[in-house]
Structure 1
Amino acid sequence: MIGARRIRMPGQVWGLAAPDAAGPVFVTSYAGKDLSTTVLAALDVTGEVLWRRTFDGHPGRPRVSADGSVWIAHGPTGAVLTELDATGSILCSIAPPHEPHESLGAFVVLPDGVCVSWLPAEGTPTVSKGRHARIARYESNGTSRWSTPAVLDKLSFPGCVEISVETNGEVRPSKPSTPQSIEASHWEPLLISGHRVAATFTDGGSGIAVTFFLDTATGQLVAASRPGPSHHKAIIGPGEFLIGSQGYGAFATARHDATGVVVQEWPTHAMLLIDRQGAIRGPEYENVLPTRSRFVGLADDGTVRAGPALSGFYTAYPALDRDGTAVFWRDGRLLAVDAGFRMHELFALEGDKRAVMSRILLLDQGQLAFALHDELFLLRSSGLGQLDSGVWPCADGGLHGNPVAYQ
């Protein structure tokens, strides 16, 4: 069993990222019970705090650029994007132009600017007629390059039901309806793979979502997915994405090609890992208790390889090393599943049931980092190798926490 250094952060952790395996580790969190302040901290791989900066606004995930700087979104509506270097000095801040009623849904950093998804309403229960979510791309100075509306209208899904009070609680299939609130997808809301953008928006009432596929250069809408309970997603190739569906009877993963067409499907939904050979694996994610989840592999022919059964429910998004071992936190234990789908325990906290957790980061010399609520764990001598060099070896596609590939 390996040991861990535990560092108390200022508040609940929202994201981890690093420029490379040597660190530093950038951590965003609340400022204690102040839910309207973001703390950005940098720690070295031993756990020593190098610096802290505070910003107004709800914290989100840090994004690290190709040159190692870190970006965060802040402000009352998250509409200010600030870049800092490894010493904590501010390099620039941009406020991309947007409408007063809009708030930021998600952003990613590009070599020459940023791509942003905007939500049509902030602090109101309904979406006003004629207002839609949208995706926009900006130059490094904040100048708009393109903007494309993402129209969610008349959403329905076969397994989604409504309860009629007038008929004494009768449960019946829901009718197609216009969303009353629109949210950025909780899981992987904005991905860019070469010449394609995949942006997912969700009806806040039903959880039914649509992924919009756009041309990265022009913003032209290429296609949109069928409405459904979209969950975990990943980049799998140039212009290609995996989109998982879970809920309302759905439990599947679909591969969409560069035209947005589904070219392969699997009867499972998982926290996906894709190695340098293109093999797909990960722990299943299903809202069912007691759990039926297993660690699975998704084969090219659409079949699913069933691995070890998993106890518990809440799961830290795993990381995959170059030897094919996946590591993740679940049910109070840090688990490793090797290339042969054999599972063993690396570390445990007896009785720990914390449900708020970060993704796993694999660092130099077998070190790894993850957070549980407001505690950062740094573990040494795990026996794990370097992070796999595939397109999606951990959440957000790599240590940078910036889901942009094939640029």
Structure 2
Amino acid sequence: MSAPPHVALPGQAWNVVADDPTGLLFAVSYGSNPLETVLTAVDQRGHIEWQRSFPGTGRPWALATGRGTVWVSRPEAAWRVLEEVDANGRTVNSVVPPSQPGEDIGTFALLPDGFCILWTAARGPLRGDGPRREPRVSRHRADGSPLWSTPIRLGDLSYSGIVEMSEDSGWQVRQKPRWTPREVTVAYHEPLMISGGSVAASFEDRGSGLARTFLLDLRTGKLSAATPPAPDGHKAIDQDGGFLIGAQGYGAFETARITPDGRRVADWPSHGVLTMGASGVVSIIEMTNDMSARSTFRRLERDGTLTSGPDLPGYYTAPAAVDQEGTTVYWRNGQLTAVDADLNAHRVAELPGTGVTSRVLILGNGMVSLTLGNALHLVPTPLAPLATGPWPCADHNLQGNPVAQTDQPPDELR
């Protein structure tokens, strides 16, 4: 089984999106350095249509609209700009949401009437000489004007699995006392999700990896709840308007179902990449780093139990997708693999690679796409069309936009 052809990108790729199952792919990567973002348009035969370079912030991202355009975020002088680019590579809209010097857009989502943005302190040369800014969540109209802005405070942190040894403890291992984070950034895994009228915004302490998910009202920006500090893990939008929040590290290996008001209503002793198909079946591709345990493809049952499927070699996993027949496709251990609705595993293609991976996309006619390192792969498969479940299907699969259906305009737009 040989690796299919791939498209070489100018630098480390971060994500790939598509406007529709048969249209262009838009891959976002570094250029000559991490402060250059390159947007590459590729057709599904693997032909590069065009490339555009933008000033970057170190973690480039793009979202497709479903209307033939794609949005990217970039710095411009002291400001942060959201720029809309059409299928020909031309800028058709540019929005400057109000910000403070030293702030950066950590990530953003597209809403029917505008944007939701997670702000963090800028890093390196983008920060300037000003004070370190605290994180916040904001909602904006389509022209960038603000509707609300909610400050976020991670607070002092402590976690039972984080220990230390010191002279004060007689060099005995003890839980580390509470500390104040020095640098707060958006969480690495799924930092922003919007479901119905709820926003789940996740921020983490860069030094320890401890994160909290803050639940806000999409209409007003009012903070309704926050999860306690825990190691950052994979997350997903639940079919009932809530969220699935995972934690892994420092002894944690779990996933919880959280309601929009922050109640924890179910728990599973498992963690990994999550998918949810149209029927509400939740699958998890485990990613345990405990060498004494094995990773398994599992189903998360509504009663908190697990149904086990095939064992999983390797560890690093690209976020997966589900087709209309309930087959999950993912990349792991140098292989593109599919697990069908009966929990049988099928090897699809060899895809050797390392580094950052994008989400797997299911395109038209069973074509599968993802980025590995600085390569964009296009793999023909017998998969059915993309499912319409809440995660990672619908918007967050092809278009990269982590928003389930919402009809919650802010008060002043009602």
Same fold, TM-score > 0.5, yes or no: yes
**C-alpha separation in 1, matches of 2:99 and 2:156:** 26
**Residue deviations 1:326-382, cap 9 Å, x none?**
111111111111111111211115xx35233222111111111111111111112x1
Q: Which amino acid aligns with 2:71?
A: W
Unaligned runs of 5+ in 1: none
**C-alpha separation in 1, matches of 2:2 and 2:329:** 13
| 1:259 alignment counterpart | 261
| 2:412 alignment counterpart | none
Q: How does 1:159-308 map to 2 (within 5 A)?
A: 159-164=161-166, 170-237=172-239, 239-289=241-291, 292-308=294-310
Alignment of 1:94 onto 2:102: no
Q: Which amino acid aligns with 1:92?
A: N
Please report how far the alpha carbon of residue 67 of structure 1 lies from its aligned counterpart in structure 2 after TM superposition.
2.3
TM-aligned CA distance change 1:3 to 1:247, over 3 Å: closer
Please report how far the alpha carbon of residue 66 of structure 1 lies from its aligned counterpart in structure 2 after TM superposition.
3.8
Q: Which amino acid aligns with 2:399?
A: H
Larger mean Cα displacement after TM superposition, 337-346 or 284-293: 284-293
Contact 1:321 1:393 in 2 (8 A): no
Contact 2:236 2:392 in 1 (8 A): no
**Residue deviations 1:115-141, cap 9 Å, x none?**
1111145337xx969x52110111111
Secondary structure of 2:159's counterpart equals coil
Q: Which amino acid aligns with 1:199?
A: A
Q: Which amino acid aligns with 1:51?
A: W
Please report how far the alpha carbon of residue 5 of structure 1 lies from its aligned counterpart in structure 2 after TM superposition.
2.4
TM-aligned CA distance change 1:229 to 1:290, over 3 Å: same
What's the TM-score, normalizing by structure 2?
0.92
Contact 1:39 1:59 in 2 (8 A): no
Contact 2:136 2:152 in 1 (8 A): yes
Contact 1:188 1:396 in 2 (8 A): no
| 1:42 alignment counterpart | 41
Q: Which amino acid aligns with 2:195?
A: S
| 1:391 alignment counterpart | 390
TM-aligned CA distance change 1:38 to 1:169, over 3 Å: farther
**C-alpha separation in 1, matches of 2:241 and 2:197:** 6
**C-alpha separation in 2, matches of 1:340 and 1:2:** 27
| 1:361 alignment counterpart | 361
> Identity of aligned pairs, percent?
42
**C-alpha separation in 1, matches of 2:4 and 2:12:** 19
Please report how far the alpha carbon of residue 3 of structure 1 lies from its aligned counterpart in structure 2 after TM superposition.
6.3
Contact 1:156 1:174 in 2 (8 A): yes
**C-alpha separation in 2, matches of 1:258 and 1:137:** 18
Q: Which amino acid aligns with 1:79?
A: R
**C-alpha separation in 2, matches of 1:85 and 1:383:** 31
| 1:6 alignment counterpart | 6
Secondary structure of 1:398's counterpart equals helix
Please report how far the alpha carbon of residue 2 of structure 1 lies from its aligned counterpart in structure 2 after TM superposition.
7.8
Please report how far the alpha carbon of residue 62 of structure 1 lies from its aligned counterpart in structure 2 after TM superposition.
1.2
Question: Number of aligned pairs?
Answer: 402
**C-alpha separation in 2, matches of 1:395 and 1:66:** 11
Q: How does 1:346-385 map to 2 (within 5 A)?
A: 346-349=348-351, 352=352, 354-380=354-380, 382-385=381-384
Contact 1:387 1:393 in 2 (8 A): no
Please report how far the alpha carbon of residue 282 of structure 1 lies from its aligned counterpart in structure 2 after TM superposition.
2.5
**C-alpha separation in 2, matches of 1:209 and 1:216:** 21
TM-aligned CA distance change 1:165 to 1:116, over 3 Å: farther
Contact 1:2 1:379 in 2 (8 A): no
Please report how far the alpha carbon of residue 217 of structure 1 lies from its aligned counterpart in structure 2 after TM superposition.
0.9
**C-alpha separation in 2, matches of 1:89 and 1:147:** 31
Q: Which amino acid aligns with 1:69?
A: T
* Coordinate RMSD, CA, aligned: 2.3
Q: Which amino acid aligns with 2:288?
A: E
| 1:54 alignment counterpart | 53
Please report how far the alpha carbon of residue 230 of structure 1 lies from its aligned counterpart in structure 2 after TM superposition.
2.5
**C-alpha separation in 2, matches of 1:30 and 1:355:** 13
Contact 1:18 1:399 in 2 (8 A): yes
| 1:152 alignment counterpart | 154
Unaligned runs of 5+ in 2: 407-414
